[in-house]
Structures are given as structure tokens and as C-alpha cells.
Amino acid sequence: MHHGFQARKKHFLALAATLLAAAALPACGGDEDPQQAQAARAQPLELTLLHVNDHHSRLDAETVSLKLRNAAGTRESITTELGGFARVTAAMKELAAASPHVLKLHAGDALTGDLHFNLTEGKADAELMNTVCFDAFTLGNHEFDNGDAGLRKFVDFLHAGACKTPVLSANVRFAAASPMQGRVAPSVVLVRGGQKIGIVGLTIAGKTQNASRPDAGTVLGEELAAAQAEIDRLRAQGIDKIVLQTHLGYDADLALAPKLSGVDVIVGADSHTLLGPDVLKELGLTPAGPYPTQAADKDGKRVCIVQAWQYSHVVGELKVSFDARGDVTACSGTPHLLIGDSLRRGATEVDAADRAAMRADIGAARALRVTAPDAAAAALLAPYAQQKAAFGAQTVGEASAHLCLRRVPGTKLDPTRSSLGDACNKDAGVIAHGGDIQQIVAEAFLQSAREFFAADLSIQNGGGVRADIRQGPVTVKDVYTVLPFRNTLVQLNATGAEIKAALEDAVDAVVTLRNTGGYPYAGGLRFDVNLDAAKGSRLSNLQLRQADGGYQALDPARSYRVATTNFLADGGDYYATLATIKAPRRSDVGLDYAEALLKYFQRQPGQALARLPVADYSTQAFTDLP
């Protein structure tokens, strides 16, 4: 009997070893044998990480204005195509073919932000992601916008093909009844060059819990503790190369690195941060730091931090050198801005001499990569693009100027948000008063709500507005890109004191948590903001617009009719005071919030949509962080 038990035990251990070896195989293929891992462990390794983040269902190519040097030697604004997921696929394939040991990573927020998501609930995103076949995908906060069931639908789409990309987050704990149970792992171990690399996922906790819609009981734990616990677990298995794939934001990554032990690389997301060389500034772009940004962990060891901007615009290529002990000895790389071959002044292609000079300028910049879309990915996207075009083509208005996107005024918390580059990011009015399009959305809510319940004011969070409006025709597609969520308008009867408290709640989260998405915009209400003041005293001089267009002080004791979204009324984005207002002081209007913006466009005289008068911007005076 003892002999039989030992035989069964030996068989079980052999089977377990086989299963563990299989689990270590690259999720999306690879030519490396995990059986070589032990022999190769004490060897240096050169690793290439190709990564994207925050593509937000923006699968189609867009346009960008770049300041390129012409034949006369001067820089001028030239228009070309930018990004599109078929270019991401092409760049990933070409760059991967040029390096022996490659990881392909997506750091989250694949969903929400374009009609592709509204029309397919993530199916188009998943199918295009599978043309890359990512080795790992970290959950972003917007993956939870349609609850756990919506996330499950997307993951099922993602796993319908052969790739079966691992979905990661070390700090998400799903409710017992969640349809996501068993579908997300804290980490995955991949093998490159015969060596094991641990990839640990991390999802921003407070923002996801308060600014998205995970199911009740689905909880996101504290990020630092979760990351360190998973790193320690992997290192206890002898895995000495750790990539932390985070959806936390660039500043949060910089703060996290020196608090951790054992992390080598952080591939980040969430803050839509463009990193890269200073030459990008000459091209009219606004990089927030170097690519990669180098830091040190708790033990003084090198950590390489990267992020790849937004919206299928950039593929990051990070080269990391590890020594035989698994420590990083060097890292370098390029954020490849994926552009088209066409170079236009307005609608006209530049002449041959200027084209040659500009192509030389593009080559010298290195970060600009002329990339033809991958044919198979483009063919896969085509029917989705046709469906989207048919729905979104209707023109609903005309913008007489760029309506710029910006969450927080000033220059410190949100300086690179706009897709229109310096035309918006450095606009003096935007810096002083915040986003033009956010302010128009708040005004649209107020006007639509007045048709239902004679609203006095509206409140909208800056992060709920997702895109600029470019000067020119405005279409249904533009409206649903600006407001991609499935929110409806709600009436709250709130006192002036409660209104101020709710705005203070949101601004406190901006200051203490860097939750820029909660920054408040209001229709019919204006105020001064001082981020350097004490909590509870950051807003002052609150004034309500009167019927004659003038303003009077908000009365703390008086009750006002407030129009806001059901998301904010439920306390989302840290508007905690609003969540305390229950029936009978709360009534769900049921009006789709994007429809409110559509109606606003259609109501404009002559369909001309301009920036609001400065006097009607909610942020009248702004004091930035010191």
C-alpha cells in the first residue's frame, strides 16, 4: 500500500509540474520553451515591451496637426492621420518582428468613448484587440461602466478567439454572485528567453469604486498593499523580473515606485499621459515627461516607468536590460506616434519639395512613425465602421470655434487632455476657466432640465465629458463621443449649503486624490476655486444666474432645483453629499444625457455653436496648487 501511495504521489507531482509548465506559456503564443527556464535563469536578458492604454473604443483613425519643417526651414501646421487600431496592429507586428523577446501589453480602459462601444458593447474592441493578441490586459476603471455583467460580456468577446488574453487585476475582489468570478487573475507568468517574467495587474481603486459602476459587493483594495503582496508571491517562486501593469495614472505610478520592493517596470495608464522627447514640443505636442521615466524602488533599484498616451494614437516600445540577478541595468525606448503618409495644408497635399523636407523632419523626430494600417485588421473593422458611420453621420450643428476639452483649469493637474494639442492645451481661456465643452454640456443639461422641472442649475463632472469638438460641423457621432456613458438626468432639490458641500466634496478629491474627473462644472452657477485653500473652503463667491442673465449670491438656506446625472446623484466621482439626497427630494427624469446635448446643438440660432460667454463659465477665478 505504501508503494502504491508513493507511485500515485509521484504521478500527481509529475502531472502538477506539467500543468504548471503549461500555465507559464505565453498567453498569445511565442517560440520559447518554458522547460528552458531553469537553465536560463542566471543569464542576462534583453526584453522588449510593446504597449498601449486607454484606447477607449477609438478604433478609427483621427487627424492631428503637427508643426513640421518645410523646404524653407520653417515650421508650419500640417494635417495628417493619427492612429486607428489597424495602425496599432501593424506597428505591433512590425516592432515585434524586430526583437527576439517581446511582451505585448494593454494597460486598460479599452472601453467607453466612441460609438463603437455604444453600438457593440465592446465586441468591436475585443475583435480588434485580438488582431494584436495581447499577452496581458489590465482592467481599467471604464471596464466597469456597465457593471460586472457588461465587463463579463466584453471578456467573453475577448476570449472568443484563439488568443485568450489574460485579464489582470491584483486588487479587484468580485462579489460572490458576480458574473466575473474566476475570470480575472492577479498576475500571469510568461516566459521569454527561457526566463520567467511576472506581469501584475493593478486597477485604480477609488476612481473605479466611485466613478464607475462595479456591482455592489465588488471591491477594489488598496493598490500598494495588493501590488506588494503579489510581487512577493511571485518572487517567492523565484521569479525575479516583475512588470507592474497599472491603471493608476502617471503621477500615481511615480509615487508608487519608491514604496515597492521588487518591481522592475511599470507600464501605466489612466491619466492619458504623453511621454517622450522634448522634440515633440517643437511639433506642437505636450509631453509630460521622458519616455521612459526612470525611478528607484524602496531598495534603491532602477524602475522604468512608461505610458502610451491615448486613443490608439501611440504604441510604446520599451527596451529593458536585465542582468543575471534579474536587476534592471538600463532601459530606453520610443513612444511611436502612429501617423499616416498624407501631409496636407487644409485639403491640399504639400508639394514634393516640402514633402521631402517634412518626411526628413518626421524621421529625425524618431517618435513619429509613418505606419500603414494592417490590412486584416482594417477589413475586420470595416463593417463596424460602416455601422457607426450610418448612425453617426447626421449633422446636428456647427461649431464656430474649437470647443476644448479640459477637466481642471490651470497648468498642473490636466495639461495634456485635449486631442487638439496646443490649440487647446495652451489656450488662455481654458487654463483660466476650464473646458469649453464641459461648460457647454453643463449648460445643455440645464436647458433640457428646464423643460421638465424648471431647473435652477446643473452640475456635471469634468471627467464625464470625453472629447473635444473640433471647429466645423457637429454630428451625432461627435455628441456620443463627447458623452459616451449611459447616464440619465436626475432632479435633486438641494439647499445652497448642500450644493456647496457637494462641490467641495469633488474638489477635495481633486486635491487629495488627484481625481481630476470629479472637477465640477455647473450650468447657471459660477464660483471661485482655490486648490491651495483648506478643505471645505476651496470654493467661494457662489452665484446663481437669474432670469435677466445677472447673478446673485447662492443662499445656503434656500432650496434649489438641481439637474445632474444619475451617476453623480448616486455619489459618483466623490459627490458624496448628493448621494444623501433621497426621495422625495430626488426624482429621476429619465432623459438620456446625450440627447440633452443633441437638443442643445439643435436649438442654436443658425446652428452656430460658440463658446459660452466668460461670465457664464462656472469657474470664474482659479488658484492652482502651489
Length of the chain: 626
Cell numbers of 306, please? 512608461
**Span 517-529, average pLDDT:** 97
Helices (H), 202-245: 205-211, 223-236
- CATH 3.60.21.10 intervals, the chain: 40-61+84-338
Q: Tell which residue, 290, 293, 287, has the closest CA to residue 273.
A: 287
- Tens-place pLDDT, residues 111-128: 987 889 988 999 999 999
Identify whether the C-beta of residue 196 lies closer than 8 Å to the C-beta of residue 24.
yes
Cell numbers of 133, please? 493578441
What sign for the dihedral angle of Cα 168, 174, 180, 182?
A: positive
pLDDT for the residue 22: 32
Average pLDDT of the chain to the nearest whole number: 91
Q: Which residues sit opposite 348 in a β-bridge?
A: 345
Residue 40, pLDDT above cutoff 60: no
User: Amino acid letter at 472?
Assistant: G
Place of cell 500640417: 78
Residue 34, pLDDT above cutoff 80: no
Residue 363, pLDDT above cutoff 70: yes
Residue 16, pLDDT above cutoff 50: no
Q: How far is 286 from 298, CA to CA, in rounded Å? A: 30
Residue 9, pLDDT above cutoff 70: no
Higher pLDDT, 600 or 138: 138
Percent over 90 (pLDDT), the chain: 78
How confident is residue 41, by pLDDT bands cut at 50, 70 and 90?
A: low
Q: How far is 89 from 125, CA to CA, in rounded Å? A: 12
Q: How far is 211 from 209, CA to CA, in rounded Å? A: 6
pLDDT for the residue 445: 94
Residue 23, pLDDT above cutoff 80: no
Which of 201-215, 279-293, 597-611 has maximum average pLDDT? 279-293
**Span 549-576, average pLDDT:** 95
Q: Tell which residue, 151, 110, 142, 148, has the closest CA to residue 129.
A: 110
- CATH 3.90.780.10 intervals, the chain: 394-623
- Tens-place pLDDT, residues 379-398: 999 999 999 999 888 888 88
Residue 39, pLDDT above cutoff 80: no
Higher pLDDT, 21 or 449: 449
Residue 14, pLDDT above cutoff 60: no
Q: For strands 520-523 and 488-495, give the pairing.
A: unpaired
User: Amino acid letter at 100?
Assistant: P
The listed CATH number (3.10.270.10, 3.10.20.30, 1.10.1060.10, 3.90.780.10) that belongs to domain 394-623 = 3.90.780.10
The listed CATH number (3.65.10.10, 3.60.21.10, 3.30.56.10, 3.90.1300.10) that belongs to domain 40-61+84-338 = 3.60.21.10
**Span 254-261, average pLDDT:** 98
- Tens-place pLDDT, residues 577-591: 999 999 889 877 767
Cell numbers of 80, please? 495628417
Q: How far is 312 from 564, CA to CA, in rounded Å? A: 31
pLDDT for the residue 6: 37
Q: How far is 481 from 57, CA to CA, in rounded Å? A: 10
pTM of structure = 0.75
Residue 331, pLDDT above cutoff 50: yes
Q: Tell which residue, 502, 489, 493, has the closest CA to residue 585.
A: 493
Q: Which of 174-183, 374-383, 452-461 has the lowest mean pLDDT?
A: 452-461
Residue 208, pLDDT above cutoff 50: yes
pLDDT for the residue 1: 35
pLDDT for the residue 590: 65
Identify whether the C-beta of residue 193 lies closer than 8 Å to the C-beta of residue 45.
yes
